[in-house]
Structure 1
Amino acid sequence: MVCSSKFTKAIICAVFLAVSASAAPAASSVPASSVAVSSLTLPSSSISGSSDSPSSTASAPAASQTVPFASDDPNGVLWGPDIDTVPQAIRGSLGATVLGPQDVGIVKENADLLAPPTTDSGSVSNAKWPYSLSHNRLQTGGCARQQNVGVMPIATAMAGVNMRLEAGAVRELHWHKTAEWAYILKGSVQVTAINTEGQNYLATVSEGDLWYFPPGIPHSLQATADLPEGSEFLLVFDDGEFSEDSTFLLTDWLAHVPKEVIAKNFQTNISAFDHIPADELYIFPAEVPHDDDKAVNSPQGTAPEPFTFKFSQVKPQQLSGGTAKVVDSTTFKIATNIAAAEVTVEPGAMRELHWHPTQDEWSFFIEGTGRVTLFASSGNARTFNYQAGDVGYVPASFGHYVENTGNTTLRYLEIFKTDRFQDISLNQWLALTPPELVKAHLNLDDTTIAHLSKTKPTVIGPGK
């Protein structure tokens, strides 16, 4: 029908609004059973270190139903790596069987890629890289494999290297244009370094300990025989484009300097350098270092700040679902560009819903199996499964959690390109927001709101 006048249009609009208002259900008529209730109802008093009283409650008007309530259909992991059958791309009534070929081993380890939770939506870049897929560089005395943007494009802020040295083997004297942070996975390593003031340093660090070398600081790494097999460690660099092939190596440099120049530099006869290597050594075997080795006496003294940190001796914070301990420049003073947390999550527990305000997170999974969903805003979310030896990545401000999906303890590292560890807890944020405002957003009942914790739970035990 075509309206003939503005007056006619006004009458029609008024009638339409009146009919719509009478047909729409009142907000208060929504059945109580249909109101979504948080699944995390852990009392704040059950969180280790939480001494504050529960959040106060308030009776705010129920919010108008502008969108449907979130589904409570189960979205758990459908299988684990040890499943006996061949997984299929089916979740509930969705999906279909796989008719074509597939790598069953990879599918078993990545259930949430083949049969993702229905909460996944939109597009999020791949945030998982197994070191098992990295090309390995084999040397006499050890090996090394890396992860950088070449294999994981999302990881722009940091890159990593997994290195293995047999007892006595040396990662030769070298330096980088990036900072180097390390975590020892097995065995012990003797490190040496010198700073710009000619102050030197020597120390031995063991499993769970760290070292850090600022950009340009020359250093070496040598495995001890504390573990007969030698050592293995994780290296993290503050540049996603870092490559081990771009290291500044002592032998590589001298192999590309005329020998007469080398002799002049060291004020000695050219014949003294008849047997220097013609190519880089990178990793090579050598005699096992002595336990009582000391730094060479320097007229400038020793480095004022240690390049190593006994992280293994830091007492972790005990939490309801696991433990956490943090290291940054407040405790490891020389580490001005990398901070980290070591987290354990017990079976059924989870690292709480949280985000890091300004820095990307580079994760390394040491033991156990876990699940992480990344929320990238604008309706984009994707879930990934992780096993020991995997690298994970979470861009700055992406909401996420880490859930233990196995039957053993999950242990992993959270690493950041920053001098201070920072995170924001969803639980704490809601607890410190006026209750009536939280209720208006989420339709939570008073009991759930009262259970929100004003201190960060960090790692939360199994839910009810």
Structure 2
Amino acid sequence: MKAQFFLPLPLALLPLVGSVPAPRASNPPLRGSEALVGYSPTEKIAPGPKPDIKCSLLPAQTADPQLGEYLDLEKVENPQPIRGNTGGDDPGPRNYYYDKINSDKLAPPRNRQWFHDQCSMADGLGIDSAGWARQENIDVMPAATEMAGVDMRLEPHGYRELHWHVAAEWSLVLNGSCRIQAVNENGQTFVDDVTAGDLWFFPPGVPHSIQALEAGVEFLLVFDDGAFSEDNTFLASEVFLHTPKSVLAQDLGVDVSAFKNLPDDELYIFGGTPAPKDIEKQNVTTPAGVIPRTQSYSYHLSEQPAHEVAGGSVKIADPATFPIASNFSAAIVTVHPGGMREIHWHPTSDEWTFFIQGQGRATLFSAPQSANTFDYRAGDVAYFPKSNSHYIQNTGDEDLVFVEVLQADLFTDIALGQWLASTPGRSYRTP
């Protein structure tokens, strides 16, 4: 059967074969309601079970990580980013084929290397494994000038220490759940629990922290600067290490002896005690009060029903419903087997895409005659420059799920099928 277009929506999916089903009368809208923004005292986040990760570690992985022994992971069924007491397990998404042949990138013999399936892993520190992070920026993807990404894992109760960035931080929780806290320049405070499918956003300079709940957490971070590096994060521990103790004592109004046990290095990711089950015990307020809900730093996208379209479904979150993220617009797209995200382009923004589940391929067309096709699996990143047309096909036998992130105040695109259907035939037909 001929391919058929689904045209009435500004963002649609093109099925490869079959008929286009009629839209359901109860089909949810593309965007959610204002009730999904921010913290509510009545909300309850179910932490869910800790991922059941069946794996075995090579002897060299249990040795002192400073030894840097070679890891032969090609015959390991489920390789993990662990060396000694650094790193942590990885429930995915990942490209397992790549991990097995690049063991020193999955579990590097030294810290402070980065990867996003094509870079190196950075481990958290502590007595027990606390987590890891992997990064994608212009160092490994030179074309991605407008956005950079980090995939981070915190073990149960693990902390991403108090920190802030020069760049804005947009996040999607991939699995598990965590508690996020922040304070803005007006002294207003914020706390919320978020779970798989939820979002958060912290503006530049706003200090914040993240703690995993009982099941641990993995989340995707996107920054509005392609040159962003986690190495340039402002950490609370680094501020203490680079400030004279006498100055710290004067600034904080305590005795110098209060700083006798400062760590010798940054904390970055470290183990912690369980967060109180009652979030109100951590809901610190000041005379300035809490951050207004309309400007809240979290958005519970997990509670937004997906809008069904031909060949899959889509959820959109942009400043229309998540106002604080003023220049971040995103779509969570699900493409069923045999379907594709139709040929389209974004006139005002590059597109940064992360593959959450399944496998697919995309072709990027750049005028006048450059077309490049790429294959992707869960854990991979794609980048499509503004106004360059592209599509994403599902090449597997399970749903393909990915997130498209734009630097825009509204999620929009132009679809080839919709453009042609809206153009008089004589404009493009040959005689």
TM-score, shorter chain, exceeding 0.5: yes
* Aligned with 1:248 (options 215, 229, 234): 234
Q: Does 1:40 align with 2:3?
A: yes
Residue identity over aligned pairs, in percent, reads 47
Q: Is the 8 A contact 2:115 2:134 kept in 1?
A: no
Q: Does 1:287 align with 2:277?
A: no
1:61-460 alignment runs, 5 A limit: 131-139=116-124, 140=126, 141-225=130-214, 227=215, 230-294=216-280, 295-304=283-292, 305-440=295-430
- Structure 1, unpaired ranges of 5+: 1-37, 52-104, 107-128, 444-464
Q: Distance in 2 between matches of 1:158 and 1:47?
A: 36
* Cα offsets for 1:301-343 (capped at 9, x unmatched): 0011211110111111101100011100000111112111000
Q: How many residues align structurally?
A: 327
1:10-21 alignment runs, 5 A limit: none
* Cα offsets for 1:381-439 (capped at 9, x unmatched): 11001000100110111101111111110000001122211100111111111122232
Q: Is the 8 A contact 1:343 1:413 kept in 2?
A: yes
Q: Deviation at 1:170?
A: 0.5
Instruction: Give SS of 2:242's match.
Output: coil
Amino acid of the residue matched to residue 201 of structure 2? Y
Q: Deviation at 1:239?
A: 0.5
Q: Distance in 2 between matches of 1:387 and 1:130?
A: 15
Q: Structure 1 stretch 293-302 or stretch 147-156: which is displaced more? A: 293-302
Q: Distance in 2 between matches of 1:409 and 1:251?
A: 42
TM-score, with normalisation over the residues of structure 2?
0.73
Q: Distance in 1 between matches of 2:233 and 2:247?
A: 22
Instruction: Give SS of 1:163's match.
Output: strand
Q: Distance in 2 between matches of 1:217 and 1:251?
A: 16
- Structure 2, unpaired ranges of 5+: 9-19, 26-96, 99-113
RMSD over equivalenced CA pairs, Å:
2.1
Q: Is the 8 A contact 1:130 1:390 kept in 2?
A: no
Q: Is the 8 A contact 2:7 2:417 kept in 1?
A: no
Q: Is the 8 A contact 1:198 1:300 kept in 2?
A: yes
Instruction: Give SS of 1:189's match.
Output: strand
Q: Distance in 2 between matches of 1:47 and 1:260?
A: 70
Q: Distance in 1 between matches of 2:363 and 2:290?
A: 46
TM-score, with normalisation over the residues of structure 1?
0.68
Q: Deviation at 1:50?
A: 10
User: In the alignment, what sits opposite 1:62?
Assistant: none
